[in-house]
Amino acid sequence: MIISTVGPMVIPDDNKLTEEGIALGKKLFYDKRLSGTGALSCNTCHKQEYAFSTPQNGIANFGGGVPRNVMPFFNLGWASTYPWDGRITGLEEKIEESILVTVDGDPEIIIPRLEEDAFYPSEFEVVFGDDKITLERISKAMAQFFRTLISGDTPFDRYLTTGPGTTGLSSADELRMYQGYSIFRDPAKGDCQHCHGDENNGLFTNNQLLNNGMDETFSDKGYGFITENAIHDGLFKAPSVRNLVFTAPYMHDGRFATLEEVIDHYSEGVVWSPTISGGMEHVATGGVNLTPEEKDLLIFFLECLSDTSFTTNPEYME
């Protein structure tokens, strides 16, 4: 799989992956007792069939109360920022915040719930050396599970690693896929490679905070909301373009329901603002101005970055 081109996963020295830790984190991921009401688990918003995202927006805790799209979970072990606005750079820290804020998991409420379950104290002892349950340990175990959510088996991955005829596509569709990829990485065509990489960056994201020309002014300032510095207004994390067929709607606020709308934006809907990112080289013409045929080929390539083995992997299921 071409995701191997990005190098080894970054794993904290104090939270190495273990079989027992991963299993504990998986159980916690699906446990509704981590929420204040006892009605929500992480899986409520991060469903495997949607690449651990959800079709609905719903996170309004940040950005001035503006709802944000639920980001998918895959290849998190290589990420350098986690929320849309880049406010957190550590996976364990992000999980802890999500428990406290997103699902209102007060440790004084949720930890006694887990302590009452005979399974948890003994498993925490196996993983951490004693049976003490803390929010930090909960987050560490879940981070171990999240780092196993690796997606890298798509038709395009197979095309590059094992060659034509191994993709599951017809030869005609393999040609269309590569034609779409050529548009994707061509600076004069799709010009997508600045933010979303290519076969040399199998994550298909540079993990940077960027302004992709959607708005002239911002109701949600993104990173600027965190720093309170106008030079950061409108900067949001560039997501991976893997698994897009599972993760609609698109953009930080979910404004685009289809890939066609996304491509139309980059083709003729880009607008200038003071913080627009340098990679948006075609802003003066409103975008890259693709032909209908080029749009179709580009979308077909993006669809070929779909990993059905990931969304159906029984190892990730409850």
Q: Is the pLDDT of residue 215 over 90?
A: yes
Distance between CA atoms of residues 141 and 134, nearest Å: 11
For residue 138, name the pLDDT band (cuts at 50, 70, 90).
Answer: very high
- Name the CATH superfamily, with its identifier, for domain 2-150: Cytochrome c-like domain (1.10.760.10)
What does the pLDDT look like over 305-314, one tens digit per residue? 999 999 999 9
Give me the pLDDT at residue 225, please: 93
Domain locations in the chain? 2-150, 155-310
pLDDT value of position 201: 93
For residues 123 and 107, give the distance between their C-alpha atoms in angstroms, rounded to a whole number. 18
Q: Is the pLDDT of residue 38 over 90?
A: yes
Q: Two tokens at 169?
A: 């596509």
How far apart, in Å, are the Cα atoms of 20 and each of 23, 29, 316?
Answer: 5, 14, 14
pTM listed for this prediction? 0.95
**Helix or strand or coil: residue 296?**
helix
Q: Cβ-count burial of 19 within 10 angstroms (0-12 exposed, 13-18 middle, 19+ buried)?
A: exposed
Q: Which CATH number fits domain 155-310: 2.102.10.10, 1.10.760.10, 3.40.50.720, 3.30.2290.10?
A: 1.10.760.10
pLDDT of residue 4: 82
Tokens found for residue 277: 């990112």
Confidence of residue 60 (pLDDT cuts 50, 70, 90): low
Indicate if the pLDDT at residue 65 is higher than 90.
no
Question: Does residue 317 surpass a pLDDT of 90?
Answer: yes
pLDDT at res. 59: 64
Between residues 24 and 6, the one the model is more confident about: 24
pLDDT-derived band at 67 (thresholds 50, 70, 90) equals confident
Each residue's pLDDT tens digit, 143-161: 999 999 999 999 999 999 9
What burial letters (b/e) apply to 166-186, b meaning 16+ CB within 10 Å?
ebebeeeebebbbbbbebbbe
Which of these, 150, 113, 88, lies nearest to 28 by C-alpha position? Answer: 113
Establish whether domains 2-150 and 155-310 are of one fold.
Answer: yes
**pLDDT tens digits, one per residue of 100-137:** 998 999 999 999 999 999 999 999 999 999 999 999 99
Using 50, 70 and 90 to split pLDDT, how confident is the model at 190? very high
pLDDT attached to residue 46: 95
Q: Band of the pLDDT at 5, cuts 50, 70, 90?
A: confident
Q: Which of the four pLDDT bands, split at 50, 70 and 90, describes residue 66?
A: confident
* Closest to 260 (Cα-Cα) out of 272, 271, 274, 249: 249
Q: What percent of the chain has pLDDT over 90?
A: 91
Q: Where are the alpha helices (DSSP H) in 46-130?
A: 91-97, 107-115, 119-128
